[in-house]
Structure 1
Amino acid sequence: MRFNGSMSSDAKTPAGDPAPTERDEAASSSTSPQGSLRDVANSLGISSAVALRALRGMDDIRPALRRRVQEEAERLRFPLEELAGETDHRGVVAVLVNTMRNTWISDLVRSIRIELTATGRTAVVVPTRRRVPEYPVAADTDAIESLVRLGVDGFLMVSDLADMDSVIAATGDRPFVGIGCSQEYVGRIDTVRIDDEVGQGLLVDHLVGLGHRDIAHVGGVGAAVARERADAFRRAMARHGLEDHARIEPGDFTEQVGQTAGNMLLRGSHVPTAVTCANDVTAVGVLSAAREAGFSVPDQLAVAGYGNTSLASSGIAQLTSVDPNSDRLGALAAQFLVERVSGHEVEARDVAVAPTVVVRRSSSAGPRAESPKRKRISVD
């Protein structure tokens, strides 16, 4: 049988059934099931959050991928009018940290997880390298951008991260809350901070109350919050008229640097009777230096940390420390983020949480009248 390029209306298919007309195809199309957002995402091997952002024309989705998603949505007959009812909230929050070796950060992350779990959300901890002049390594903005594409609800930043402008830019339009970060970000993002002015003031008050006058501080290096903490120490000493007795020994937040700084403080003719530190880990390094140099703590040297971590309360250290109220910090930050994710639009908020001082054996005595005996120590 020969056909002239087309089939007549009464033509039969090879199976003997009438061939479908254009009207039949249109009717069939109108009654076929519509695809869902998940169908569109699964067909392209991407997440529903990425598919949604592509259909909304978000700038963080590559143009080529946006076109593919739009074409697939059309093919699967996904009703674009339903976009308004879709949400790209996945119930996952990324917690950005510059290290997990700091026990205070571990304590804080635990309180964040407790608060988020109560709202049905999950916290994913993401280590991000620090970038400061002393540690010139790049921040992992690629990882942050990947988290945005995967559809995390928002970001919580613990302490200062490297190259902060790049970090904030990488999070796109996702809610961003800083915890324990530098004051320089107040007004730019929601911030929940330790009131270091109060913390250092309480610590210096405690030591001066015991009779100490020659007090040193190990810190001020690295993150901006370390410099702010050192400045607060200077002001606290000046309030007692002891600005000429205040000494800053440069150090970061590590035990090794704390021990090196302790060695520097404990050699020579003018030795402080008390040392405060930027955190508990640094203070443990100072305790090691004191032990090696033959100083009795607290009889010949009082030592105090910052963070009131499990390290401070251990039987070996028994370290006086500033308690930043980590549970309160974590809970507030998580609440701020949940409010932002829920569409709560307000000006950037800043809350400074007042800390307390927990006194332990490392600073339970005032300075002795006599000069302590010293042994010669070397500094590598």
Structure 2
Amino acid sequence: MSSDASASSDGTIDPASDSGAPRGDEGESGQVVENVEQTAEELDSSGQQRGTLRDVADSLGISSAVALRALRGAEEIKPLMATRVREAAERLRFPLEELSEETDHRGIVAVLVNTMRNTWISDLVRAIRIELTATGRSAIVVPTRRRVPEHPVAADTDAIESLVQLGVDGFLMVSDLADMDSVLEATGDRPFVGIGCSQDFRGRFDTVRIDDEVGQGLLVDHLVGLGHREIAHVGGVGAAVARERADAFRKAMARHGLEEQARVEPGDFTEQVGQTAGSMLLRGSRVPTAVTCANDVTAVGVLSAAREAGYSVPEELAVAGYGNTSLASSGVSQITSVDPNSDRLGALAAQFLVERVSGFESPPRDVAVAPSVVVRRSSSAGPRPESTKRKRVSVD
């Protein structure tokens, strides 16, 4: 159902249309109410006190941009649409008191990242900016990993302290940064929220995480359902999140009685290490028929290793990633991947931060967002029968 039939992908309204008014009869109106109520129930069941702008928009089948213009009373939005959006916002307890006028500029939020190479970050930042826009704030993305030899894995606390001096409202951290104690000390008393980070940080500050046990479980369920039993995982190195995903993989395999087949080949989140790990798996005496990876970048590396070793994907090796980034969805790779619901992660983290900036006081909150799996060509086939597998001669 889409009541935003007249809105384009960027949220603009076609002047020749009904200016955002929902189409259809009272049956559709009833469906809208049902969708809003379902969203409200989901928020309640997950312990969420407030809905985000994204929640309001999704419950009505419109874009966040249209929802925001409706809440701000834009003239091009028909009264019926404006009423429905405001009613949905009130039902979902969206913080209308934080809503700003389009010309208001209240502050800047810094998004701290380890690297700019991970395309998942761009998905998150887009969701963060949409939510912050509703409150008149903007976001800047700041790489924080030092690249000098004497600090190979240290955080650039000088940059963070400079941001504090410039007066940023607060900080959003994507994944785990190195040397967190120094990072938190550098942020001073500014509000701090972690996104997609390790469970280790629960209770230290607000965290909005991916439920990796669910994500890895869905991947393993998918592969086992295709007939795979010899399944390996590339990851477990470089960050606590990587270790947690490897542990979640082992648990999922154990749930299917496949503990003995649950091999974890050490790897981080880079393509180069993914390729090396993939080569190690494919040269061994016990070659898996499927591989799950810590992220999509690693999965690309495993695909490269499979190509170099002469393995056909997915006929001889199924590969799955994590993050559902543009790398996974590209026509070349077509990688099955866990979709972490980046829109939800970014919107909720931004709302948590705005609430803290506004003086909200409570113990640190922790939310694990449930992911889903997007199946693509890289895992569209089960393992070949032993009689049809090609025998390969290992090359030393």
For 1:271, the equivalent position in structure 2 comes to 287
Judged with a 3 Å threshold, the aligned counterparts in structure 2 of structure 1 residues 309 and 374 are, in CA distance, closer, same or farther, namely: farther
Distance 1:146 1:112 in 2: 22
User: By how many angstroms is 1:372 displaced?
Assistant: 3.0
For 2:56, the equivalent position in structure 1 comes to none
Structure number with bigger Rg: 1
For 2:361, the equivalent position in structure 1 comes to 345
Q: Runs ≥4 in structure 1, deviation > 3 angstroms?
A: 374-379
User: By how many angstroms is 1:377 displaced?
Assistant: 6.2
Normalising by structure 2, what TM-score?
Answer: 0.71
> Which of 162, 168, 190 is equivalent to 2:184?
168
C-alpha distance after superposition, 1:69-123 (max 9, x if no partner):
xxxxxxxxxxxxxxxxxxxx95100000000101111211111111112211010
Opposite residue 173 of structure 2, the aligned amino acid is: M
| Kept after mapping to 2: 8 A contact 1:293/1:376 | no
Distance 2:301 2:262 in 1: 20
| Kept after mapping to 1: 8 A contact 2:112/2:142 | yes
Distance 1:335 1:92 in 2: 14
For 2:99, the equivalent position in structure 1 comes to none
Distance 2:329 2:395 in 1: 30
What 5-or-longer segments of structure 1 have no aligned partner?
1-88
Judged with a 3 Å threshold, the aligned counterparts in structure 2 of structure 1 residues 238 and 165 are, in CA distance, closer, same or farther, namely: same
User: By how many angstroms is 1:130 displaced?
Assistant: 7.0
The secondary structure found in structure 2 opposite 1:193 is: strand
Distance 1:232 1:334 in 2: 27
For 2:33, the equivalent position in structure 1 comes to none
For 1:109, the equivalent position in structure 2 comes to 125
After TM superposition, list the pairs within 5 Å mapping 1:319-330 onto structure 2: 319-330=335-346
- Count of residues in Structure 1 that have an aligned counterpart in Structure 2: 288
For 1:204, the equivalent position in structure 2 comes to 220
After TM superposition, list the pairs within 5 Å mapping 1:1-380 onto structure 2: 91-129=107-145, 136-370=152-386, 372-373=389-390, 375-376=392-393
User: By how many angstroms is 1:243 displaced?
Assistant: 0.5
Distance 2:215 2:226 in 1: 17
Distance 1:163 1:221 in 2: 16
Opposite residue 282 of structure 1, the aligned amino acid is: T
The RMSD of aligned alpha carbons is 1.6
Distance 1:268 1:175 in 2: 49
Judged with a 3 Å threshold, the aligned counterparts in structure 2 of structure 1 residues 211 and 173 are, in CA distance, closer, same or farther, namely: same
The secondary structure found in structure 2 opposite 1:208 is: helix
| Kept after mapping to 2: 8 A contact 1:130/1:162 | no
What 5-or-longer segments of structure 2 have no aligned partner?
1-104
| Kept after mapping to 1: 8 A contact 2:106/2:136 | no
| Kept after mapping to 1: 8 A contact 2:201/2:207 | yes
Normalising by structure 1, what TM-score?
Answer: 0.74
The secondary structure found in structure 2 opposite 1:136 is: coil
C-alpha distance after superposition, 1:222-243 (max 9, x if no partner):
0110000000000000011100
